[in-house]
Amino acid sequence: MSVVQAAAQDPTPLLEMRDISKSFPGVKALDHVDVALYPGTVTALIGENGAGKSTLVKILTGIYQPDSGEIVVDGKAVHFGNAEAAIRNGITAIHQETVLFDELSVAENIFLGHAPRNRWGLVNWSAMNARAAALLTSIDAPISPYTRLKDLSIAQRHLVAIARALSVEARVVIMDEPTAALSYKEVEDLFRIIDRLKRQGKAILFISHKFEEVYEIAERFVVFRDGRSIGAGLLSQTGQDEIVRMMVGRSVDHVFPKTEVAIGGTVLKVSGYSHPTEFDSISFELRRGEILGLYGLVGAGRSEFCQSLFGITRPSAGSLELEGRSIEIRSPSDAIAAGIVYVPEERARHGAVLQMPIFQNFSMATLAKTTRAGFLRQAEEFALARKYAERLDLRAAALSVPVGTLSGGNQQKVVIGKWLAARPKVIVLDEPTKGIDIGSKAAVHGFMSELAGEGLSVIMVSSELPEILGMSDRVMVMREGRMAGIWNREGLDAETLVRAATGNE
Amino acid sequence: MSIMTADKQSVRHIPDRLSTPIGRLLGSWETLLAAVAIAIFIANSLASPHFLDPWNLSDATYNFTEKAMIAFAMTLLIISGEIDLSVAAIIALASTAMGAAAQAGFQTPALVGIGLGVGLLCGAFNGLLVARIGLPSIVVTIGTMSLFRGIAQIVLGDQAYGGYPPSFAWFGQGYMSDFSWWPTLPGFEVVTFEMIAFVLFAVVFGILLHRTTFGRWIYAIGNNAFAAQFSGIPVQRTKFILFLMTGLMSGFAAVCLTSRLGSTRHTIAAGWELEAITMAVLGGVSILGGSGTILGVVLAAVVMGLVTFGLGLLNVPGIVMSIFIGLLLILVIALPIVFRRIRSRASA
């Protein structure tokens, strides 16, 4: 701990960004921001989506050049004309979704672009594999450098991405939402790695939406809002409420807007749902107006199970009853017709068609409502889109702009709105607030409550314990494809759920 | 940890669109193509005194009408993220089948039915392999390209089928004025059957793509097949239907072309698959799928037809024409991108 304390008092930053501005046509992404990173210290960069965090990361890694301002490393002003220049200055980044190559080996992925050479200028395979193995050992990752990447789990790929970032002589490590795809236990592993990097004296910029993580791992913080740096300092001297105020520029009303809703009769009855590899014997009843939280580690089979309810994957055994009638779901259109809809976890991949306009995304799943005999009625499509855009408080320049131009939170509103237009009975939300900013998160939570109040039944898959505990009427935990139990909301604590999910009972 | 936004009561108004219809029109690819078409038209009329002759112009349309019919169907297929390289081979096979049937004494209605039927079957075969079995369409149709034309080659060798019934000639050689029951307006005598078919198909495909649920599905699938599937869109069925349609249009083009030439060799329509794809791409269809319009393809067809015809009038050899078409394609694709880059550099 002594290094950390020393670092916190150390007034000499390893890297400083001074008065940085960057504009894009029509938007000022960064407006005279200042950020300082100290050796052996984790600095958390906090801000809503669209606050300018990603732009800052891109400037720091040489992908963008700032319009004005300077970057100072070790007291010397530097200029990063390209990504290589940033790496030469010891800056490396682990991105939200690092691009890795499925068909290449772990070692090749780690050293792609800077593989050790032999004297003929060819790749020195033995040196590369040895160095990869050493790197992986240094971060406690039990992965063979010879394995092909496609044979690894998501969490293991993440470790490879970290190893890749550390394979250059880095002194500044940027982690852009590194925990977004990780489960509880994997986050702990990541934090151990960060601790090790800290002890090596590296300066770490940590970007996360999750406050527990920020307070657990970081010493310093910088808050961005609308492209400006609003505040910076030591986390030990700053409360969560204060940071939230800086982030959103308005006061905190309340935590989770879960309202009490009269729970009605059974809407959906799942009996013995099984799949050859992903899940086994899932049985439960979902009631009217109820929010059922579905918790578990990444890979516990939650998404696969939910997708089988929606007709994407077919169960090998089991039956469904909706409002007392037995139904069989063979395709998503069967599910939509029956009144079961699914908001997928991977918004950009499965949820929205980013290149298409907002209004066409809203009407996509319910085109029959805005067509006559198969012919589109554009005015009705706009009307439908407007109705749900207003209901969800969508922030967009126009209904005809592509969904891809919106922030993550607003994209999620479009995906949810698309399904509300289908007037469902059961809505399955798979990680509905993953990677979206705090304001949009609250809107999604408030909305979920509203839907339950209107008599919808909600299944909410989430890996965030506060969300599960805050929003659910009941919580079901899955572990390795099986049900680990169902609990009522009253008196339920996080430890119970984590024990059930990890099997440490 | 979460908060409620304070300003939730006020509903903010979101406009439908940012730009006006005229603004969109001026900035569109189609406007650029129309300008190119007019420029080439003027250049042609200045370069050759024979260009503005109505019968010459009418003849010129054969340069693109048959290919454009395939290009329309191909456009839908490319927007959905697939491609069909076997269209010209389907023409060869359909034409061969019609030739064999004509030798056996079949009459015009049966020949047309055979041409369309073979096209449909070939399309179904492609569609089955792509949509049912899940093979990549570029691989499947490279295979069927050789397969279909190979069959035609085995049947025909270096022989040719001829001897089509006289009434069969009407599809590829008929004019509006040939219909005794149709009151042909003065000046419209030069309009050919193929031109009418071209306009009709342009309208039908335009409506199908831009005004129907099915058309919307095509765009959704081409942009993000996963999200389309997760929205309840029958992705594989849609793709299968698109292959059927492409096969059918190839069959129809085979009828027109065979009728116009009056004979069938195994090399018939050689290289047309690339010309149809060129038309689609020149028309603004993204080769990666997801975007493009029928109007753009119509204009691209006219542009290509005018270029070919104008150069023909100037006695430019065929090989130079294909060089010219290739340059035109690269130029029209590259120019807007270059301009955008210059503009963004100027504003940066």
Rounded distance between C-alpha atoms, residue A498 and residue B6, angstroms: 34
Q: What residues of chain B lie within 8 A of the CB of A313, using their CB?
A: none
**d(Cα A485, Cα A162) in Å, to the nearest integer?**
35
**In angstroms, rounded to a whole number, what is the distance separating the alpha carbons of residues A184 and A498?**
8
- A353, B223: Cβ pair inside 8 Å? yes
Q: How many distinct structural domains can be found in chain A?
A: 3
- Structural domain span for residue A313: 253-339+424-505
Do A406 and A262 sit in the same domain of this protein?
Answer: no
Summarize the confidence of residues B241-268 as an average pLDDT: 96
Q: Which one of A68, A251, A356, A386 makes the best mutation probe of the B interface by having the most chain B beta carbons within 10 Å?
A: A356
Which amino acid would we find at residue B117? G
Of B212, B226, B228, the CB nearest to A376: B212
> Per the structure block, which two tokens stand in for A140?
């406690």
Are A176 and A306 contained in the same domain? no
Q: How many domains does chain B have?
A: 1
Please give the span between the terminal C-alpha atoms of chain A, in angstroms, as a whole number. Answer: 32
Q: How many C-beta atoms surround the C-beta of residue A454 within 10 A?
A: 10
The CATH code of the domain that includes B126 is: 1.10.3470
Whether residue B14 and residue A364 make contact (CB cut-off 8 A), yes or no, is: no
My answer on whether A414 and A428 are in the same domain is no
**Amino acid present at A146:** Y
Chain A, 482 to 501: residues with Cβ < 8 Å from chain B are: none
- By the CB < 8 Å criterion, does A470 face chain B? yes
What pLDDT, in 10s, does the model give residues A19-29? 999 987 656 78
Task: Report the alpha-carbon distance of residue A269 to residue A287 in Å, rounded.
Answer: 9
Q: Is residue A215 within 8 angstroms of chain B, CB to CB?
A: no
Please, which residues have CB within 8 angstroms of residue A105's CB and are 6 or more apart in sequence? A145, A146, A147, A148, A149
pTM: 0.76
pLDDT in tens, B203-244: 999 999 999 999 999 999 999 999 999 999 999 999 999 999
Res. A370: pLDDT tops 60: yes
Do residues A75 and A125 both lie within one domain? yes
The verdict on A398 and A388 lying in the same domain is yes
Q: Where are the beta strands (DSSP E) in A358-407?
A: 371-372, 375-376
Q: How far apart are alpha carbons A351 and B289 in whole angstroms?
A: 18
Contacts of B335 (CB under 8 A, 6+ apart): none
Domain boundary among A367, A389, A423: A423
Residue A19 parent element (H or E): strand A15-24
Residue B92 · residue B253 · CB < 8 Å: no
- Same domain assignment for residues A389 and A433: no
* Mean predicted confidence (pLDDT) in A62-83: 89
Task: Provide the domain limits for residue B111.
Answer: 64-335
A&B contacts, CB < 8 Å: 143
Mean of per-residue pLDDT scores for chain A: 86
Say if B165 falls within a structural domain.
Answer: yes
CATH number at residue A179: 3.40.50.300
* Average pLDDT of the residues in A42-61: 85
From the list B16, B216, B229, the residue facing A360 with the nearest CB is B216
Q: Is A491 among the domain residues?
A: yes
Who contacts A34 (Cβ-Cβ below 8 Å, separation ≥6)? Answer: A16, A17, A18, A19, A20, A229, A232
Q: What is the pLDDT of residue B5?
A: 42
| Angle of CA points A416, A420, A422, to nearest 5° | 125
Which 19-58 residues of chain A touch chain B by CB within 8 A?
A: 25
- Cβ distance A14 to A172 under 8 Å? yes
Instruction: Give chain B positions within 8 Å (CB) of A257.
Output: 2, 4
What ipTM describes this predicted complex?
Answer: 0.86
Query: Same domain for A114 and A243?
Result: yes
Give the number of C-alpha atoms closer than 13 A to the C-alpha of residue A55, restricted to the C-beta side. Answer: 27
The answer to whether the beta carbons of residues A56 and A21 sit under 8 Å apart is no
Percent helix, strand, coil in chain B (nearest 5)? 70, 0, 30
Q: Give the mean pLDDT of A39-52.
A: 84
Task: State the Cα–Cα distance between residues A85 and A500, nearest whole angstrom.
Answer: 48
Q: How far is A497 from chain B (nearest CA, A)?
A: 18
More confident residue, A251 or B265: B265
* pLDDT tens per residue across span A219-257: 999 998 878 898 899 998 988 878 877 876 654 444 576
Domain assignment present for A232: yes
CB-based contact, B234 to chain A, within 8 Å: yes
Residue B113, in any domain of the structure: yes
Q: Are residues A469 and A377 in the same domain?
A: no
